[in-house]
Structure 1
Amino acid sequence: MNGVMGLAQVLREGRKKSGGEEQRAQRGIIGSGRVHIGERSYPFRAAVDCNTSDGSLVWVQISRGGTAVIVGA
């Protein structure tokens, strides 16, 4: 993923994944190099400049490949 264009591509894929409905961002917490949302955890990439240390709360969208893309903190 490269910059704004990469973020736009991930968001487009997220919308397609949900069958036409817009995918919503989910709240997660970073721990042990992964984003934890409820009982699940995902590897992540940051699309915005934010703190990604353990314990940080972030907003993510899950990409088609199962990677959490951080879109806010």
Structure 2
Amino acid sequence: MLLVAGIADMAVSGLSTVVGGLRGLMRRADMAELAAEGQQEIKARGRLALDRFTASSPAHLEVLAQQVKAHRGPAGV
């Protein structure tokens, strides 16, 4: 869902910019890393797009705290 919303947000914000960026990416040697970063950015855009259109979104700091907790694991390490 986040991926679809992120892609839709990118399409609305400017398809020509994306096409120009893709041409530049095709000449890069670190395509796998750039693709992973691109996927993360699209998910982040999707998260932001969904937050804009949902009735109530959670507090920003609460979301960050949950992400840190999930990243560290149950032991908090």
For the pair shown, the structure with the greater C-alpha radius of gyration is 2
Q: Which structure shows the higher strand fraction?
A: 1
More helix by share: 2
User: Which of 1 and 2 has higher RCO (CA within 8 Å, sep 6+)?
Assistant: 2
TM-score normalised per structure 2:
0.30
